[in-house]
Structure 1
């Protein structure tokens, strides 16, 4: 029976990356229900429980090497793994896993990653050297493909597909779960609900008050702000800071760490998502909801451009009046037909990534 190892930022209680894992596992199982999947995780026990896969400790070389020896292929991704902005250490980790797989003569499939930026000259050389040894590369956006070509990657095949989480578009969602979670948090389900998925970042002394002002104005007009942390505890603290800055106190905070299925259910209950976190925008879009982006990273801008949504507001300086006007417009109009069409096409491309991975495995 075929076996693959999944490498990514898994087991760190980051809801966006957990959604990527959930989507990849789901897509692979649709293509090959008998596939054995082992995940390199920061929390193997939790990963096994949530996704019904085998998991090993990503920090224990013996366990990682053992998993790769048993496997037929390494799947690296998705997410933004090959970049040195977060830190060069994380880049070295993911390249090290790829190198180890190749030492064991295993196939390597890059799964719908967002590539870059890779700024350090030594890092660019190392990425170029190792990526030309992998078997197949799929990327989630065209800009990533352009950056990879600029790096001088001449082989293997490079295909632009879509973020794995977009493959969840149209999947059955139990909306009752989300309604119950919101009710338990104190939400009035009869009011229009606007989700906020924010994080700590440079210049927060400027943009957090702007968001607080927006939330107050929305409440004055009858809407209900719902703050949804995607990464605990950092995002929880950002939400609490905003709520302290607000004049009104009815806003809702979802303190509970949500599973991917719970987040999809909550997103299906919202009327709009205002997000810094990329996968808050992707998950809301997959549930048919309009989104407004606050950009701290090019990946947010790339996604909004791909789906035909309005451009993101660049942080930290936000024109509060413009942000308010766009939120009101999006609340009134919902997703446009163009967005719906593009999202449907991207959902198909996201599933196609799994088909390419299984084909690579079986060749």
Structure 2
């Protein structure tokens, strides 16, 4: 390494798959690293290296080509594994083996490794738990995004490296970075800000036959939240995904809640966070509504997503990072859980999910939405109090990783972030 060059940091995660949540993690991670060490030279292991390189101004290599990964690790000063929910076997053992395999290779090459704000588990198989114990006990530092992840590691016998509980990297984003004008442009292109056409003026879908109490007609005055964010009417974002058990009944109950919101003067926009995978189910739920809603029919960059979410009043989300972005931007979050990571994040905010995706019910979701809309200003103030410490913990992850960066045998120049 030439004198004066910064440390080479290899980054392994679920990058290049057009999953907006993981792309937001990478965006936030890179921003935090550059703030701590301006001379850092990231090398991202990506499914789509050319796109990753163009989006973030970094070097990227193909994560599936062993030779490229080997060469990247050989010249790296440090490997960051994360963030995200990499170390789990719910989606299959192959994924866990891949990410642990990259860590194992880095350690065989004598490189220090940091688990960067990982969300651990679930790891249910005996093989997976054994691999976790063998590989994770050999890394230099583990940072996890919640207390439950630290407990999961301890239960699997991971005890040797120090474990620091920090927070998801996306929580470290500065909300001032949001470009609300850009968000407004997206809303305008979608036609979401046009006056709504009530179902009373047109054809109606058949009644769903549920006598549960609809959303209270009181609470937020329509347009009040929109005025805060510069929109002529408040906009509700909805982020859903395919999941076993989240079927027609559950989707219809969600659609009914969205209809209730429309009748109170809100606009509803479905936002597929993983595009195009989330597009089909988003369209299905929108088609079940009696009122007009819009479905975003293209992928977003991280910057666009941040700017769009910043213009919302409320976000009903299944995707973890839809809820995290909402919390960071001061947008009212209502979570629908399909995985423990949703419950864990909401717990950090002092909240509970409105229900499980497979058992979602109209009444419970309606009450959860009404609960946040009854006093939006008070809810936002409480949200800000909870997010503030999480933001500082997220930024601390980069400082901890920075302490392990070495250049030519010397510690790299690392800035302290107050």
TMscore range, shorter length:
over 0.9
The answer as to whether partners of 1:291 and 1:309 remain within 8 angstroms in 2 is no
Normalising by structure 2, report the TM-score: 0.85
Q: Which residue of 2 aligns with 1:164?
A: 169
Query: Structure 2: 5+ residue runs without aligned partners?
Result: 1-5, 194-230, 412-418
Q: Distance in 1 between matches of 2:295 and 2:341?
A: 26
Match 1:232 to one of 275, 289, 299: 275
Task: Give, in angstroms, the shift of residue 169 of structure 1.
Answer: 3.9
Residues 91-106 of structure 1: matches in 2 within 5 Å? 91-106=96-111
Match 1:351 to one of 370, 395, 402: 395
Q: Which residue of 1 aligns with 2:89?
A: 84
Structure whose CA Rg is larger: 2
Q: Distance in 1 between matches of 2:402 and 2:11?
A: 13
Task: Give, in angstroms, the shift of residue 315 of structure 1.
Answer: 2.0
Task: Give, in angstroms, the shift of residue 336 of structure 1.
Answer: 4.3
Q: Distance in 2 between matches of 1:169 and 1:29?
A: 14
Residues 29-178 of structure 1: matches in 2 within 5 Å? 29-178=34-183
RMSD: 1.2
Q: Which residue of 1 aligns with 2:189?
A: 184
Q: Does 1:219 align with 2:224?
A: no
Residues 288-339 of structure 1 show CA distances to partners (whole Å, capped at 9, x for unaligned) of 1110000000100000011113434112222312311321331342334332
Q: Which residue of 1 aligns with 2:303?
A: 261
Q: Does 1:314 align with 2:319?
A: no
Match 2:344 to one of 302, 319, 338: 302
Q: Distance in 1 between matches of 2:354 and 2:387?
A: 18
Residues 118-176 of structure 1 show CA distances to partners (whole Å, capped at 9, x for unaligned) of 11111111110000110000000000000101111121100000000000043421100
Match 1:9 to one of 7, 14, 17: 14
Q: Distance in 2 between matches of 1:70 and 1:332?
A: 55
Q: Distance in 2 between matches of 1:242 and 1:272?
A: 17
The answer as to whether partners of 1:76 and 1:108 remain within 8 angstroms in 2 is yes
Query: Structure 1: 5+ residue runs without aligned partners?
Result: none
Q: Distance in 1 between matches of 2:181 and 2:382?
A: 29
Residues 58-108 of structure 1 show CA distances to partners (whole Å, capped at 9, x for unaligned) of 000000001000101110000010100011000010011001101111010
Q: Does 1:339 align with 2:383?
A: yes
Task: Give, in angstroms, the shift of residue 220 of structure 1.
Answer: 1.4
SS at match of 1:10: coil
The answer as to whether partners of 1:169 and 1:344 remain within 8 angstroms in 2 is no
Task: Give, in angstroms, the shift of residue 341 of structure 1.
Answer: 1.3
Task: Give, in angstroms, the shift of residue 207 of structure 1.
Answer: 1.3
Q: Distance in 2 between matches of 1:331 and 1:238?
A: 26
Q: Distance in 2 between matches of 1:360 and 1:137?
A: 12
Q: Distance in 1 between matches of 2:104 and 2:11?
A: 14
The answer as to whether partners of 1:58 and 1:64 remain within 8 angstroms in 2 is yes
Task: Give, in angstroms, the shift of residue 224 of structure 1.
Answer: 0.8
The answer as to whether partners of 2:330 and 2:383 remain within 8 angstroms in 1 is no
Change in CA separation of 1:171 and 1:100 when aligned onto 2, cut-off 3 Å: farther
The answer as to whether partners of 1:206 and 1:317 remain within 8 angstroms in 2 is no
Q: Stretches of 4+ moved more than 4 A in 1?
A: none
Residues 227-266 of structure 1 show CA distances to partners (whole Å, capped at 9, x for unaligned) of 0001112211111111121122x21111121011110101
Q: Which residue of 2 aligns with 1:289?
A: 331
